[in-house]
């Protein structure tokens, strides 16, 4: 792939007023583009766009099948009410281009809030002192930072989007897709795969821990990992534990540049303490490509060896 991005200015200057970090963005609505300032807020659990702003600038919104509540840090539903629509809109920040997905909400003070999902996806380096934001993650350098020829200037064009996906997919398939694992403790266990086509690798506890009833505990795994390029890692509950013992996983996304020990935050939703032994399977590590995918409906799914055996069928826990 041609190294186009190196020649581009991929650093944008920020206004840093009070504790808000604002960045200028261009959104490409269906009829025209609009330049506004968005707030980057690591405290926001979602990426939001204001409902009124969308209708004013012809930014198409799509109704979601299942509405979802927005929860505040204290666990209470937010007063902004359930989210019923999302907006997928091409967004430029300097030479950084993406198809952004926003939750549509009534925002009293902002048009656009770039929250944790956006920060996790692009992992921009934010220098508040210098007022600079630099896009240098693998995703951004392979996917977002492209100088679009004039003919491709309207990125909502479906064909262009497909071309980018194909190009990105081809680049990824040439790279080593294995996960590098380092054992920080010689007794730690390597992640293993429960079945040949399991989505994740099982993670094992490297210490004895008790997860208190209705509480949580951090369980070390004794390993650190480097994911394949263009991917990020997510820790998902071990389905048998989730169903039989109501053990969930909190703080589940790992930044792609984190090389410290993988530690799993297990939450016990039941009324009984849950004892973890060293070597127990505690969660699964899922490596995901950072690509936006769409769903399409099929009448029937293809056959696999595992078939419809579900929760807890690939081992004991």
**Least CB distance to Zn ion at residue 6 (A):** 15
Long-range Cβ contact pairs of 11-14 (< 8 A, separation 24 or more): 11/94, 11/132, 11/133, 11/134, 12/93, 12/94, 12/96, 12/132, 12/133, 13/131, 13/132, 14/40, 14/126, 14/128, 14/131, 14/132, 14/133
How many Å apart are CA 287 and CA 243, to the nearest integer?
Answer: 22
The answer to whether 247 and 266 have CB atoms below 8 angstroms apart is: yes
* Region from 119-127, 265-273, 282-290, 300-308 binding Zn ion, contact rule CB under 5 A: 119-127
CB of 98 to Zn ion, least distance (A): 6
| Cα–Cα dist 7/187, whole Å | 47
Contact with Zn ion (CB under 5 A) among 122, 146, 201, 281: 122
Least distance from C-beta 245 to Zn ion, angstroms? 39
Binding residue count for Zn ion, defined by CB under 5 A:
3
If the CB atoms of residues 175 and 244 are measured against Zn ion, the closer one turns out to be 175
Tokens 């989730």 sit on residue = 242
Is the Cβ of residue 25 or residue 140 nearer to Zn ion in the bound state? 140
State the binding string over 140-179 for Zn ion (x if CB under 5 A, else -).
Answer: x---x-----------------------------------
Rg for the chain, CA atoms, rounded = 22
- 263 in Cβ contact with 217 (< 8 Å): no
The smaller minimum CB distance to Zn ion, of residues 118 and 274, is found at 118
Nearer to Zn ion, 230 or 237 (CB): 230
- Closer to Zn ion at the Cβ: 137 or 238? 137
Query: Which residue in 85, 107, 86 sits closest to 36, CA to CA?
Result: 107
Query: Judged by CB under 5 A, which stretch of 26-34, 136-144, 219-227, 239-247 contacts Zn ion?
Result: 136-144
Query: Min. distance of Cβ 23 from Zn ion in angstroms?
Result: 13
Give the separation between CA 247 and CA 266, rounded to whole angstroms. 6
User: Can residue 93 be called a binding residue for Zn ion (CB under 5 A)?
Assistant: no
Q: Alpha-carbon torsion 84, 59, 159, 140, what sign?
A: negative
What is the nearest approach in angstroms of Zn ion to the Cβ of residue 94? 11
Which positions touch Zn ion (CB under 5 A)?
A: 122, 140, 144
């Amino acid at each position: 792939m041609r190294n186009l991005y190196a020649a581009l200015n991929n650093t944008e200057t920020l206004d840093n007023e009070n504790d808000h970090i604002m960045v200028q963005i261009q959104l490409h609505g269906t009829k025209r583009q609009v330049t506004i300032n968005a707030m980057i807020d690591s405290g926001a659990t979602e990426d939001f766009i204001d409902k009124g702003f969308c209708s004013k600038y012809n930014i198409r919104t799509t109704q979601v099948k299942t509405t979802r509540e927005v929860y505040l840090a204290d666990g209470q539903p937010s007063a902004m009410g359930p989210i019923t629509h999302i907006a997928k809109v091409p967004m430029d920040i300097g030479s950084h281009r993406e198809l952004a997905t926003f939750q549509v909400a009534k925002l009293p003070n902002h048009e656009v809030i770039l929250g944790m999902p956006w920060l996790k996806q692009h992992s921009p380096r934010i220098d508040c002192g210098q007022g600079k934001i630099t896009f240098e993650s693998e995703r951004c350098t392979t996917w977002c930072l492209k100088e679009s020829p004039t003919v491709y200037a309207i990125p909502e064009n479906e064909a262009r989007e497909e071309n980018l996906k194909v190009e990105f997919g081809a680049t990824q398939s040439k790279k080593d897709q294995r996960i590098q694992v380092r054992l920080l403790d010689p007794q730690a266990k390597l992640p293993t795969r429960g079945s040949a086509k399991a989505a994740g690798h099982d993670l094992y506890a490297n210490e004895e821990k008790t997860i208190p009833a209705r509480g949580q505990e951090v369980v070390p795994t004794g390993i650190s990992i480097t994911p394949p390029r263009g991917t990020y890692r997510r820790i998902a509950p071990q389905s048998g534990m989730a169903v039989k013992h109501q053990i969930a996983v909190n703080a589940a996304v790992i930044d792609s540049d984190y090389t410290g020990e993988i530690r799993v935050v297990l939450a016990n939703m039941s009324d009984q303490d849950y004892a973890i032994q060293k070597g127990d399977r505690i969660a699964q590590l899922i490596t995901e490509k950072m690509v936006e995918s769409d769903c399409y409906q099929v009448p029937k799914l293809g056959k696999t060896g595992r078939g419809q055996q579900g929760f807890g069928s690939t081992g004991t826990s």
